[in-house]
């Protein structure tokens, strides 16, 4: 989420965000790779992800959402749609924890409502 936020708010190129975000941080290679994949995937499928949010966010324009909330939704939706090996409940719970940490309690409820509504439209995972 922080990478998406940096990309959107800072108007940095995705390659620049990837090149600088992990500098000076000790991160397991698998974790860094997964974070990069989620970030790049969300950026590359932005129109699709934003369209899903627009469909579910009644009375809210995407542009009026807090940047943190917008990017939490993008990240979680990408993982819900393109990482079927991750249980949807785990994706949503992680998104809610991120919202609690970086946003507010109203955001937690909003993010949960949007993600749960979209989750219900996804095919069942076996």
- Encode pLDDT of 41-82 as tens digits: 999 999 999 999 998 887 778 888 899 999 999 999 999 999
Q: How far apart are CA 121 and CA 28, in angstroms?
A: 34
Q: How far apart are CA 47 and CA 60, in angstroms?
A: 17
For residue 99, name the pLDDT band (cuts at 50, 70, 90).
very high
User: For residue 64, what are its two tokens?
Assistant: 């009026």
Among 20-29, 57-66, 107-116, the least confident range? 57-66
Average pLDDT, the chain: 91
What is the pLDDT, as a whole number, of residue 126? 55
Which residue ranges make up each domain of the chain? 2-119
Q: How far apart are CA 70 and CA 93, in angstroms?
A: 16
Spell out the CATH class of 2-119.
Answer: mainly alpha
Query: How large is the average pLDDT for residues 114-123?
Result: 90
- Encode pLDDT of 2-22 as tens digits: 999 999 999 989 999 988 998
End-to-end CA distance of the chain: 28
**pTM across the whole model:** 0.91
What is the pLDDT, as a whole number, of residue 18? 86
How many residues appear in the chain?
126
Give percent of the chain above pLDDT 70.
Answer: 98
For the chain, what percentages of helix, strand and coil (3-state, to nearest 5) are there? 75, 0, 25
């Amino acid at each position: 989420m922080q990478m998406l936020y940096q990309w959107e708010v800072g108007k940095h190129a995705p390659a620049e965000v990837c090149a600088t975000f992990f500098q000076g941080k000790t991160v397991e290679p698998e974790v860094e790779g997964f974070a990069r994949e989620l970030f790049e995937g969300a950026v590359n499928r932005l129109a699709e992800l934003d369209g899903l949010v627009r469909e579910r966010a009644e009375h809210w324009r995407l542009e009026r959402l807090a940047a943190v909330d917008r990017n939490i939704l993008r990240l979680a939706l990408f993982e819900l749609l393109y990482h079927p090996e991750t249980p949807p409940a785990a994706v949503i719970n992680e998104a809610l924890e991120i919202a609690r940490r970086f946003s507010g309690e109203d955001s937690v409820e909003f993010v949960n409502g949007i993600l749960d509504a979209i989750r219900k439209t996804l095919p069942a995972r076996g």
